[in-house]
A and B are shown apart, each in its own frame.
Chain A
Amino acid sequence: MFYREAGDFKTTYKQDSQTFPIKFDRIRYYLVLGFAFLVIPFLINDYWANALLLPFLIYAIAALGLNILVGYCGQLSLGTGGFMAVGAYACYKLMTSFPDVSLFIHVILAGAITAVVGVLFGLPSLRIKGFYLAVATLAAQFFLVWLFNRVPWFYNYSASGQISAPERDTFGIIITGPNAPAWATYMFCLIFLTVCALIARNLTRGSSGRKWMAIRDMDIAAEIIGVNPLKAKLSAFAVSSFFVGVSGALFFAIYLGAVEVGEVFNIQKSFLVVFMVIIGGLGSIFGSFAGAAFLVALPVALKILGVDILGWPTDIVAHIQLIIVGALIIMFLILEPHGLAQLWNLTKDKLRLWPFPH
Chain B
Amino acid sequence: MKLKLTTLALGAVMAAGPVMADLVFPAMSYRTGPYAANGIPFADGYQDYFTLLNERDGGIGGEKIKLMECETGYNTEKGVECYESLKSENPLVFQPLSTGITYQLIPKATADGIPMHTMGYGRTSAKNGEVFRGIFNYPANYWDGASAGVNHIIDIEGDIKGKKITLVYHNSAYGKEPIRTLEELSKKHGFNLTVIPVDHPGQEQKSQWLQIRREKPDYVLLWGWGVMNPVAVQEAANIRFPMDHLIGVWWSGSENDVLPTGAGADGYKSLMFHGVGMDYPIFDDIKKYVVDTGKAAGAGDQLGTVLYDRGMYAAMLAAEAVKTAQALHGTAAINAAQMRDGMEALEINEAKMAAAGLPGFGPEFKVSCKEHGGNGFVAVAQWNASAGTWSQISDYAQSDQEVIGALVAEDSAAYAAENNITPGCN
User: Which residues of chain A have a CB within 8 Å of any CB of chain B?
Assistant: 46-47, 50-51, 55, 149, 159-162, 164, 166-167, 177-179, 255-260, 262-264, 266, 300, 303, 307-311, 313-315, 317-319, 322
Contact = CB atoms under 8 A, between A and B. Distances in A.
Given A256-B77, A314-B70, A178 B108 contact: yes
Given A177-B107, A309-B16, A51 B81 contact: yes
A50 B172 contact: no
Given A167-B419, A300-B81, 12 more contacts: A46-B87, A50-B84, A51-B81, A160-B176, A164-B103, A166-B419, A177-B111, A178-B111, A260-B76, A262-B199, A313-B31, A318-B31
A16 B156 CA distance: 85
A46 B77 contact: no
Contact of B200 (A262, A310, A317): A262
A263 B110 contact: no
Interface string B254-272: 0000000000000000000
A315 B31 contact: yes
Given A266-B200, A309-B9, A314-B29, A179 B111 contact: yes
Contacts of B31: 313-315, 318
Contacts of B103: 160, 162, 164, 258, 260
A255 B180 CA distance: 29
Given A166-B418, A178-B112, A263 B180 contact: no
Contacts of B425: none
B211 interface: no
Contact of B100 (A167, A179, A260, A308): A260
Contacts of B418: 166
Contacts of B207: none
A159 B88 CA distance: 32
The dominant DSSP class at the B interface is helix
A309 B6 CA distance: 13
Contacts of A309: 9, 12-13, 16
Contacts of B29: 314
Nearest to B112: A178
Contacts of A55: 77
A161 B173 contact: yes
Interface string B168-207: 0001110011011000000000000000010110000000
Nearest to B411: A159
Contacts of A311: 12, 15-16
B235 interface: no
17 contacts: A47-B85, A50-B80, A162-B173, A177-B107, A177-B111, A178-B108, A257-B108, A258-B104, A258-B107, A260-B103, A260-B172, A262-B171, A308-B16, A315-B31, A318-B31, A318-B73, A322-B32
Given A177-B107, A315-B31, A263 B172 contact: yes
Contacts of A313: 31, 69, 298
Given A161-B176, A167-B419, A310 B16 contact: yes
The dominant DSSP class at the A interface is helix
Contacts of A162: 100, 103, 173
B63 interface: no
The listed residue with most A CB atoms (<10 A of its CB), out of B29, B71, B177, B179, is B71
B84 A257 contact: no
Contacts of B75: 263
A142 to B, nearest CB: 9
Contacts of A315: 31-32, 36, 40, 71, 298
Interface in B1-58: 9, 12-13, 15-16, 29, 31-32, 36, 40
B84 A310 contact: no
Interface of B: 9, 12-13, 15-16, 29, 31-32, 36, 40, 69-71, 73, 75-77, 80-81, 84-85, 87-88, 99-100, 103-104, 107-108, 110-112, 123, 171-173, 176-177, 179-180, 197, 199-200, 298, 411, 418-420
A256 B78 CA distance: 11
B349 to A, nearest CB: 33
Contacts of B111: 177-179
B32 A319 contact: yes
B84 A260 contact: no
A264 B103 CA distance: 13
A50 B32 contact: no
B110 A178 contact: yes
Contacts of B81: 50-51, 300, 303
A264 B112 CA distance: 24
A315 B43 CA distance: 11
A227 B368 CA distance: 71
Contacts of B176: 159-161
Contacts of B420: 167
A35 to B, nearest CB: 22
A300 B32 CA distance: 16
Nearest to A251: B77
Contact of B173 (A260, A300, A303, A319): A260
Contacts of A161: 172-173, 176
Contacts of B107: 164, 177-178, 257-258
Contact of A317 (B71, B108, B172): B71
A124 B362 CA distance: 59
Given A159-B177, A160-B123, A260-B172, A51 B73 contact: no
Nearest to A180: B111
Nearest to A55: B77
Nearest to A165: B107
B296 to A, nearest CB: 12
B46 to A, nearest CB: 13
B71 A314 contact: yes
The listed residue with most B CB atoms (<10 A of its CB), out of A160, A303, A310, is A160
Nearest to B123: A160
A162 B12 CA distance: 42
Nearest to B124: A159
A177 B418 CA distance: 11
B251 to A, nearest CB: 15
A300 B12 CA distance: 18
Contacts of B70: 307, 314
Contacts of A258: 103-104, 107
A164 B197 CA distance: 22
Given A166-B419, A264-B76, A256 B85 contact: no
Nearest to A309: B12
A29 B84 CA distance: 31
Nearest to A45: B88
